[in-house]
Amino acid sequence: MFRSQISSNCQPTVKQNNRSFRLAFTLVELLVVISIIGLLIALTIPATTAARDRARQARCTSNIKQTNLATMEYITRYGYFPGWKNQFQSVKSSSQNNKVNGSWVAALLPFFNEGALEKKWVEGVQDTACLLYLICSADARPDKNNPHLSYVANCGNTTGTSRDAGVFLDLVPPTSGKRPTKQTLDFITSNDGLSTTIMTSENNQAYMWGPDANISWQGFVFFGSNPNTMGTSQALNWDYRGVKMSSQASRNATTADAYARPSSYHPGGVNTSWCDSRVVKLNDDIDYEIYKMMLAPNDRGCGVSQASLTILHEMLNVQ
């Protein structure tokens, strides 16, 4: 009985000591645990970043498709594309002073189901608002209190008036009284085709969509020569990839027009919509002459060489 009591009294102590020994960590074990946690974090962060990029890409694609659909509905009603610059006449007065200018976004308000804003523009009131579907979720300028804009329209050359060169033209009547040139789907179809002509794009420096319609703020263009000082044929994301524009004389454009080009914060390229309603992500390093031809419904409008024309047709499987 005494032995039993001794055994009984000693047993808890052994268990306690064993338990204490099992709960202790050596330095090596601690370092292994920390290494595993670090490895798991290293594997998780890129996956999370990639998931966010995919989500932003999907949202941006949805925004561009919505803009493309609104443009097509505009064309169905009027028979031609909206202008990058449009003139609105107040229904309350026929006075010349009540005519106001607005961008392509203002022209598309009825097709964005923005009835209240549309009414004000028809009445000659230049009212704007923040429209979230015009803001890319990857855009680094989170200003949602102003009529912010992440997407721009294809204006062709720096004048934005030629059917051969662009899609969204200047539709404000000139002082000469002549009617402005209007772009149509039939014209594009009868030339290069809808599948080879860009309609809209992203732009990091797009300004606001309000009344001050300007190519540099709401459009993208091509220049007579490659405006790249690095000697390469890069056409997209000039600022995002650290490429600086050359002087005004060498690139044949005003300083402001330097911003009228595709750019985005999406890794690898820029989302664009085309006249056949596709949404395509263009690679950053696209050849500049190819880029010009993608803007022009008629290749003669951008003055590219026959060799470049052949390359483009091969790329897009156009016979």
Cα 264 to Cα 24, 43, 244, distances in angstroms: 53, 27, 16
Q: What's the rounded Cα separation, in Å, for the pair 300 and 292?
A: 11
Q: Each residue of 107-164: pLDDT tens digit?
A: 999 999 988 888 887 776 777 788 888 988 888 766 666 788 899 999 998 888 999 9
Residue 256 has pLDDT above 90, yes or no: no
- Of 287 and 294, the structure prediction assigns the larger pLDDT to 294
Q: Work out the pLDDT band at 313, boundaries 50, 70, 90.
A: low
**Domain total in the chain:** 1
Q: Work out the pLDDT band at 237, boundaries 50, 70, 90.
A: low
CB-based contact 272:217 (threshold 8 Å): no
Comparing 8-22, 104-118, 279-293, the range with the smallest average pLDDT is 8-22
Task: Tell me what pLDDT residue 243 has.
Answer: 36
- Is residue 60 a part of any domain in this protein? yes
Residue 229 has pLDDT above 70, yes or no: no
Q: What angle do CA 153, 203, 314 make, to 5 degrees?
A: 70
Quick one: which of 310, 257, 260 has its CA closest to 287? 310
Task: Tell me what pLDDT residue 126 has.
Answer: 72
Phi, psi of 92, deg, nearest 5: -90, -15
Residue 272 has pLDDT above 80, yes or no: yes
What amino acid is encoded at 266 in this protein? H
Determine the average pLDDT of the residues in 19-41.
71
Determine the average pLDDT of the residues in 80-95.
78
Determine the average pLDDT of the residues in 211-223.
86
Residue 80 belongs to domain spanning: 54-315
Q: Work out the pLDDT band at 231, boundaries 50, 70, 90.
A: very low
Q: Work out the pLDDT band at 192, boundaries 50, 70, 90.
A: confident
Residue 170, beta-bridge partner list: 85
- Is residue 125 a part of any domain in this protein? yes
Q: Name the residue with tokens 């000039």.
A: 238
- Reported residue count of the chain is 319
Task: Tell me what pLDDT residue 290 has.
Answer: 82
CB-based contact 123:109 (threshold 8 Å): no
Cα 37 to Cα 48, 50, 316, distances in angstroms: 16, 20, 48
Q: What percent of the chain has pLDDT over 90?
A: 28
Q: Name the residue with tokens 């004389």.
A: 249
Task: Tell me what pLDDT residue 55 has.
Answer: 83
CB-based contact 181:161 (threshold 8 Å): yes
Q: Work out the pLDDT band at 252, boundaries 50, 70, 90.
A: very low
Q: What angle do CA 41, 45, 51 make, to 5 degrees?
A: 145
The rounded mean pLDDT for the chain is: 77
Q: Work out the pLDDT band at 24, boundaries 50, 70, 90.
A: low
- Is residue 101 a part of any domain in this protein? yes
DSSP code at position 300: G
Cα 315 to Cα 10, 43, 181, 190, distances in angstroms: 85, 37, 31, 20
Task: Tell me what pLDDT residue 248 has.
Answer: 36
Q: Two tokens at 71? A: 């443009």
Q: What's the rounded Cα separation, in Å, for the pair 8 and 104?
A: 91
Cα 100 to Cα 79, 117, 223, distances in angstroms: 22, 14, 29
CB-based contact 82:108 (threshold 8 Å): yes
- Is residue 29 a part of any domain in this protein? no
Phi, psi of 285, deg, nearest 5: -95, 30
- Is residue 140 a part of any domain in this protein? yes
Q: Work out the pLDDT band at 242, boundaries 50, 70, 90.
A: very low
β 219-221/279-283 pair status: unpaired
- Is residue 181 a part of any domain in this protein? yes
The DSSP string of 203-270 is -TT--B-SS---HHHHEEE--SS--BTTSS---S-TTTTTPPB--HHHHTS-SGGGG-S---SSTTEE
Strand blocks (E) in 225-264: none
- Is residue 106 a part of any domain in this protein? yes
- Mean pLDDT is highest, among 44-48, 155-159, 222-226, for 155-159
- Mean pLDDT is highest, among 223-227, 245-249, 281-285, for 281-285
Task: Tell me what pLDDT residue 74 has.
Answer: 96
- Is residue 165 a part of any domain in this protein? yes
Task: Tell me what pLDDT residue 245 has.
Answer: 37
